[in-house]
Amino acid sequence: MKRLAMSITLSLFFFGFGFCQTSSSTTPPATKDLTAVALAQKALAAMGASVSTYQDSVVTGTLTTHADYGGGTTPIVLKSKGVWSVRSEIKRSAGTDVYVTDGSQGCLTRASGGTQSTAFSNMYAEPIHHVPALSILADYSNKNMNVQYAGTTTVNGRLADVIALSSLSATAPSGFDVPSATQNLFYIARDSGLVIKAQYKHFSDNDSDGALKHEVYYSDYRNVSGLMVPFRVDTYVEGRLSTEMMLTSAALNVGVPSTEFAVTCGVANAN
């Protein structure tokens, strides 16, 4: 339970998924399944995604944590820039907890004092995910990204195609299975083309051998300046409801400064 609680604490900041931005001439070629690529393109078109059009975003709302994970409802602000940089601000009674990641390192600064760097294993699970259209799904064409078809299933009674994205990295620590650890599943509704569910692994920052399954359900999509944004995001950890995020506002291209995403922990990716 202690390892579960530690994993939940950091995953609350980014109900999301992402991959370190690494490349190397020794990295093997990624797999690009044509069916999966077509589905990624379909989903992005349905959600109005265009990285060249949407440079940054700011969403506000409330985050309800269920009893198994502490309980309570707090205000939350999530900011993003591009595909990789995200800033999460969760207000607590003692102040505001802030988590920042730029896709290659991350840092949690607690209102109660102290900082914590993100372990290497979790740099693949913490960039954008609260807005699927701006997540790493939009980076499917990256030469280091595997894109594979994973079949069909139903999600809350809706038929969905499933695609799996995973990263390749020649700079990962020896013995670290990057494609397995970074695999993220996107469930694309056939009736709308929207992403209605995602699934990924999150590791405890002090235990890289264990991983917890996170399932994220998206609903109440609304059009925000041409982009479809889910105003409700429910996250389940190992089958139990962990958090509910309800947005109250969303804005795009507001000019979030790059300084908002500066990683301030003294040692990057420390365990």
What are the distances in angstroms from CA 66 to CA 8, 12, 78, 208?
11, 11, 20, 25
Tens of pLDDT, residue by residue over 105-154, are: 888 898 888 888 866 555 555 556 799 998 889 989 999 899 999 999 99
Neighbours of 158 (CB within 10 A): 15
Q: Are 232 and 244 in contact (CB under 8 A)?
A: yes
Residue 120 lies in a domain: yes
Residue 151 lies in a domain: yes
Is pLDDT above 60 for 4?
no
Position with higher pLDDT, 50 vs 211: 211
Residue 271 lies in a domain: no
Q: What is the pTM of this model?
A: 0.84
Residue 208 lies in a domain: yes
Is pLDDT above 70 for 204?
no
Q: What is the CATH number of the domain that holds 190?
A: 2.50.20.10
Residue 268 lies in a domain: no
User: Within 13 Å, how many C-alpha atoms sit on residue 37's CB side?
Assistant: 10
pLDDT band of residue 19 (cuts 50, 70, 90) is very low
Q: What is the mean pLDDT of the chain?
A: 82
Identify the domain containing residue 99 by its residue range. 2-261
Q: Return the DSSP state at 31.
A: P
Residue 22 lies in a domain: yes
- Lowest-confidence segment of 43-52, 173-182, 207-216 by average pLDDT: 173-182
Nearest Cα neighbor of 180 from 168, 189, 170 is 168
pLDDT band of residue 58 (cuts 50, 70, 90) is very high
Residue 40 lies in a domain: yes
Q: Are 112 and 155 in contact (CB under 8 A)?
A: no
Residue 145 lies in a domain: yes
- pLDDT score for 52: 64
Number of domain units in the chain: 1
